[in-house]
Structure 1
């Protein structure tokens, strides 16, 4: 379903984001959670994904899917091309911790 070619877009406190494409060629962003970002319980992980799936705002990228095992967790987002938030005209942006 996902093309094997990955292009790293960035790294953050809880994961690494890659650009790849689905088999039909549509680009997607995939975040691989780091060990420190892993949620050990599948039930808790799915609960958090349901919460994220309900968020609706023009500045929030929609989650399209996820994958969970205790040792590997992935989040799939629609891919949005453009400037990084760090290079926005507003300068340094403080991110809201939704946890």
Structure 2
């Protein structure tokens, strides 16, 4: 199961990196995207819950690291107003492109 890291710039300019046990974060957040604290917290919680369920489906148990990341995000988000904005700075690894999976671009 491919793991990933995603970097966030909080409203005070502080940058923080978070872990996901799955690339599912790409389904919920975009690099360069800005989200309100409320929206980021909700999207991250949903994505990390999905990631944990993928771990459960593959290994038979939920991912405690996904739960810890969710808790870290909620703790970090509590320092800011709900309407303040969070920016997604990076997501590693990126999603594979057609060129990286062997397809030829026309």
Instruction: Name the TM-score class by shorter chain.
Output: under 0.3
Compare relative contact order (CA 8 Å, sep 6+) and give the higher one, 1 or 2. 2
TM-score (norm 1): 0.27
Q: Which has the larger radius of gyration?
A: 2
TM-score (norm 2): 0.25
